[in-house]
Amino acid sequence: LMNLTIKINTDNDAFEDENLCSEISRILKNYATGIESIIDSDTSWKLETKLRDINGSTVGQVTFTTDNEEDLD
C-alpha cells in the first residue's frame, strides 16, 4: 500500500480571511502541475516536496510512503 500525505499549515497571513480556500487551491494546483508529467513509478521520490504559500514561505510538505516504510518508524 502506498500513501501520499499532504500537510499544509494555514496559520499565517497568506490564508487570512477570504484567502483561505483560494490559497489552498493555488498551492495544490501548483503541486499537481509539478507532478503531472511524472510517469515512471520508480521516480516516486519526485512526489515529495515542500509546499510554499504565495509569499514564498514554507507552509507544508508532501510525503510518499509505503507500508514497509511506515513499519520502520
Contacts of 67 (CB under 8 A, 6+ apart): 1
Note the Cα 72 to chain centre separation in Å. 22
Which amino acid is it at 68? N
| pLDDT reported for residue 6 | 96
* Residue among 17, 22, 12, 25 at smallest CA distance from 55: 12
Identify residue 19 by its one-letter amino acid code: N
Per-residue pLDDT 10s for the chain (73 aa) are 888 899 999 999 999 999 999 999 999 999 998 887 776 666 666 778 899 999 999 999 999 887 765 444 4
Cα angle value 11/15/21 (rounded, 5°): 125
pTM for this predicted structure: 0.80
